[in-house]
Structure 1
Amino acid sequence: MKFKKEILIGIVMISVILISACVEEEEITPAVEEYRIKNEKLGIYVTPDVEENEIWPTTYSTALNKAKEGCFSTIWILVDWKDVEQKDGIYDWSVVDMRINKAREKDFDVGIRTLIITTGNDEKGNFVSELTIPPHVNQDMSSADFKQRTLKFYRELITRYEGKVKYIAIGNSVNDYFEHYPEQWEGFKIVYPEIVDALHNIDPTIIIMSDLNYGESFYSDKCKMQKYLDYFGSSNDDAFGFIFYFIDPVYYSDIKNFNKRTLSKVLDEMNQRTGDKKVYIIETAMFSKNPHTGEDWIELQSDYVKMLLRTALQKDFILGVSWFTLYDAKDLPFVPWDAKAGLGLFDANGNPKKAWEAWKVYAK
């Protein structure tokens, strides 16, 4: 595939270089204001997730400093229920405390994605969708035990972090999970609004959102996605939270429509389908290498940063966009597949990628 590169310099008080490396040519207005990004919409998953760990090329504190350079305003943290409550009724928040406190010390907002479900790929790239709740909790979402313990977990969380967390997303790609385990859907629909009420009752200011996959199968199959849009669209939460990888075929080299115009069209349709409720794209990224062939995708990753910051954040219905992740992990056998798959803006040696340089330019 051949890419055309256009460089247009517009002077509006300052000189700005805007580079487009998309598949098709597009007209770019030179006005600076058209591309000025509101950095309060920019989120990032800061890896490493602890202060020091052999699988990461830097420390958590250093990574936070880098996030400042990238004009990010929100640090997103994954909180796995089963990791926090390893014993019945006993909670260990020490790692979460450290991450939240250090982020707040550097004046970041904080978003938490609470994982009661894990959906993604294992070390071999195979799809996995399963519950990630403590083993002592009844795994049936329609059970009284599940409801009681789930509400207790969320009350513990919000009581501890009241006033410290701006966003909470609930689930992790819950629609993917319920497509594989439809018998759990009715139970979740009952407990979800009670979780939202429990959080809002303690901290009315917090923004609570769902955690849904807006990937290819759900984008292309309107009926498949509609029941989730209907339910969460009318729920008592505050926003949709979408995992959005524009769109999954780019992972498998189907990149003929990988351009700003198509991205804008997909987002406009997302806006129409979600009605009046706002959307936070809680996870998005692009590989810097093809995960299946190893083909160099450094330029494609940089292209996606440019089109994302020039398109998604200009949509009024989008509350924010969060990139996954800041650093790649080292290629060690026990490291999860998606952590070392080249999604980071820095490589596993701590070197900035071209996408990072693009981010710094376009985020300002």
Structure 2
Amino acid sequence: MSHFLTRTLQALRLPLFCALLWWLSAGSAQAQVSCTATMTNMAFGTVDLVDGSAPSTTATLSYTCTNTGSSATFARVCFNIGDGDQGLTNFNPRVMKDSAGDSLKFQLYQGTTGGTIWGSTGNPTVTSPFAVDISIPRRSGSVSGTKSGSATMAGQILGLQGTAPPGAYQDNFGTVHTSITLTSNTSSAPTSCGTGGAGTFAFVVSATIAKSCLVTADPLNFGTVAGLPGAANSDQTSTISVTCTTPTAYTVALLPSNGATTGAGVMSPTGGVPGNTDAVAYRLYRDAARSSPWGGVTGTNTVAGTGTGAAQLLTVYGRVLGTSANVRPDSYRDVVTVNVTY
């Protein structure tokens, strides 16, 4: 068996040698040019997404191409970017992930703002690598000719991702997810990127989603109420919208301007009637029966919830108390502070 194997290798030696000579001859036109490149990491830092925002940042590509030939050389150099270790098979949009496998969508663009997606040659989804056309000086003695440059890559996290849980996310574009391809020619500028591998430029895209909440509130308008002694209570409602990251626990407290933690406030005249010092008492409640005050003592008279990344609507039940006094006709107002603790 060993003898047969030895003869087989000897029989293949000449065809293999000839094939190798042919490959070197065909590639010799490009062998005089080589390129190296680095890309800075793209760090979005800590981002707050509950308001629907789309944070952006940039990274910088730096490259140097070397010509060892005796003639000045034209080259088209293409810098290709794929999908990343965590975002496998995701190109548009690309995807970062946290340790639990939660996804955060983003995209990489050529230039300082969104526009052409930075892709790779032969990719059917994102087809355009970043390409530069350069002329590299010839070798001078033992010193190779060089041409260096840089380019900006813009990154953007897609908006409306408030449901993504807080945490650290990344997509690692290691050496298998980036490549440099080039075509060179001493007589005219090439028009294609080439397919031969000429280097890589690994980098990491990262972002940290902060635990956060966003709150808005509609006015609680009681309209026109009776100011005579013995007038009945007047009831109205308002809505508070709370948007918190998933799954952030929160409490909502209400504090009238008089500082009362029991939800008992007082509206003061707005100045329509000179010298008016009357006041209109009101109360804030958590229930339609107006039996559970909504105040500022956490765990006693506040409202609790757990964020989903979407807006959660809370109803405030208000009541203007019937009075035994004669309140002068005027416009009355108070400011209630909504405190969300998370």
Same fold (TM over 0.5): no
TM-score relative to the length of structure 1: 0.21
TM-score relative to the length of structure 2: 0.22
Greater C-alpha radius of gyration = 2
